[in-house]
Amino acid sequence: MELNTKYEKLKNKQVILYGAGKFGEKTLDLIQNFNTEIICFIDKDVKKWGKEYKGVTVTSPDTIKSLVYDYIMITSMYIKSVYEELISKGVDSDKIVFIPIDSDKSIEYKNMSETKSKKMNAKMIETFFQKNKVKLKENEKIRICFLFEAPTLWPSWDSLWRACLDDKKMETQIILYNNKVFQNSQNQGATEFLIKNRIPYIDYNEKIIKEFNPHIIFLQSPYEEAFRPENLRSTYLKSNGHRIIYIPYGIEISNTDESRINQFGNNLVFNAWKIYTFSSIMKENYHEFIDEKLNNIRSLGHPKFDRLYNYNLDNIQRIKEKANERKIIFFRLHFPKEVYDQGELKMVTPYLKEYYKFADHLNKYKDFYFLFRTHPKFYDTCYKFQDGLLGVKFFYKLKDNENVLFLKDEDYRLGIFSADCIIGDRSALMVESSVSEKPILYLYNKDFKEPMTKGVKRLFDSYYQGTGYLDILNFLTMCRADKDPKKDERINAFKSTIENYDGLSGYRIKEDIIQAITSE
């Protein structure tokens, strides 16, 4: 969007900028040529109060009530907390605006040459691994380390960890890496999660891995630079003789250029001793991208589906009681997402304005009880997009409705199994939701339908699909009438897509690990 169009509503207006950081300073530089009168900067940082930037003074949020203005413009990435603070101070929501500075997207396009370089590097690392390999001695227990970072990624390990813990041939440790330097929305609450779920762990220190000297190390996230320091990344650990195992924390759903590289072409994939994916078709996806018939990729089922198979349905009773005989809709949103495909940056999730429009119609659906759950990065990401503030306003509209409950628990199974119908956009959770056999609406961006990998395409094709609020309303009308014309197609697609849905995937993986390491 052109700057003139972006800032048209601010022309000849009196504006307060909330946020006196780099974002705020850059915004000031951009809008000063539009005859906009900048009254002041607002910021919570006491150290900034009284200072000036290009003649504009920074002051306290408490001064807002005494100021005269047309708009308050949020110039901070923390748009949710700032918006809620302004509303609590009595600011009219129509006077709150947000315009992202999107000239330099934070998404870095990765090409095939980078992937080839990673493959070549992995071959070199393999020589160091063979030289330094931690060998299993006779009558020695297999030492296994689960390097834990993010509660939201735990479902990919749960049943496997329990199987390893119960096997007397294994010595299993969870090492918690909780370094605040690499803190993000997904790994917040890691310590609390382990304590709450009574999962024994040891805090990471620089000596612990060397002292334990594990034969095998499980790593959670493939985005190593965002989660771990260099000495805890797959390249370093493998070079020191540790076997790296990766179980994708999500389901590899997207078939765009960028997603294929992220899913199948990252360092963790190339350095892994074993990769366990959920189906033989997805295994083929790995082989097609890597262009090698690697025997380290195994399809024995996924621990995520063990958790679903073994879920105690008694847990949903409290939700049923809250719903009070109303139909339950589980509504799950990914964070706003752009990806590169064929050299262009494409928005793959629905525009936030579509969800905002839907919220205006909630009062027509009092006979439904809505369970809303967002990706942990939802609010962290909204600030990058033109309609980002609508994402915040959407949930602000919802929160006071009697027929809305926000699911804050990390265990999303409650939503899947208590629901009569399910709505969501791009997410591995849309694959997991298929176990419920309930009607599912999959939402995508109206200007670009994200291609799906072969491993999940048939399943997504069996869902009801749409791009905006009208499709949501039509789906709810269908649910109200108890109609589900795609049910048989969806159930058959589930059976052909989700292999080994028997609650034993973790056990099979554990046995495969034992067989592989003892036969070396």
Q: Which stretch of DSSP H or E encloses residue 84? A: helix 79-88
Residue 35 pLDDT: 83
- CATH superfamily of this structure's domain 112-307+503-518: Glycogen Phosphorylase B; (3.40.50.2000)
For the chain, what are the domain ranges? Answer: 3-97, 112-307+503-518, 313-497
State pTM to two decimals.
Answer: 0.85
Confidence of residue 78 (pLDDT cuts 50, 70, 90): confident
184 vs 443 pLDDT, higher one = 443
- To the nearest whole number, what is the mean pLDDT of the chain? 89
Residue 109 pLDDT: 44
Residue 102 pLDDT: 52
Residue-wise pLDDT tens digits, 202-248: 999 989 999 999 999 999 999 888 888 899 999 999 999 999 999 99
Nearest 5°: the CA angle 422, 426, 428 is 80
Q: Is the CB of residue 17 less than 8 Å from the CB of residue 42? A: yes
Tell me the CATH number for domain 3-97: 3.40.50.720
Q: Is 484 exposed, middle or buried (0-12, 13-18, 19+ CB in 10 A)?
A: middle
Exposure pattern of 67-97 as b/e (b: 16+ CB <10 Å)?
Answer: eebbbbbbbbbbbbebbebbeeeebeeeebb
CA 490 to chain centre: 25
Of the candidates 371, 432, 376, which has an alpha carbon nearest to the alpha carbon of residue 193?
Answer: 376
* Token pair belonging to 101: 């500075």
Examine the pLDDT at 140 and tell me if it is beyond 80: yes
Q: Whole-angstrom Cα distance, residue 440 to residue 437?
A: 9
- CATH superfamily of this structure's domain 313-497: Glycogen Phosphorylase B; (3.40.50.2000)
Q: What SS3 class is residue 327? A: strand
Q: Can 3-97 and 112-307+503-518 be said to share one CATH topology?
A: yes
φ, ψ for residue 234, nearest 5 deg = -60, -40
Residue-wise pLDDT tens digits, 492-516: 999 999 999 999 999 999 999 999 9
Residue 104 pLDDT: 42
Question: Which residues, in sequence order, are CB contacts of 362 under 8 Å at separation 6+?
Answer: 370, 397, 398, 401, 403, 404
Of the candidates 260, 247, 309, which has an alpha carbon nearest to the alpha carbon of residue 454?
Answer: 260
Confidence of residue 116 (pLDDT cuts 50, 70, 90): low
Residue 115 pLDDT: 61
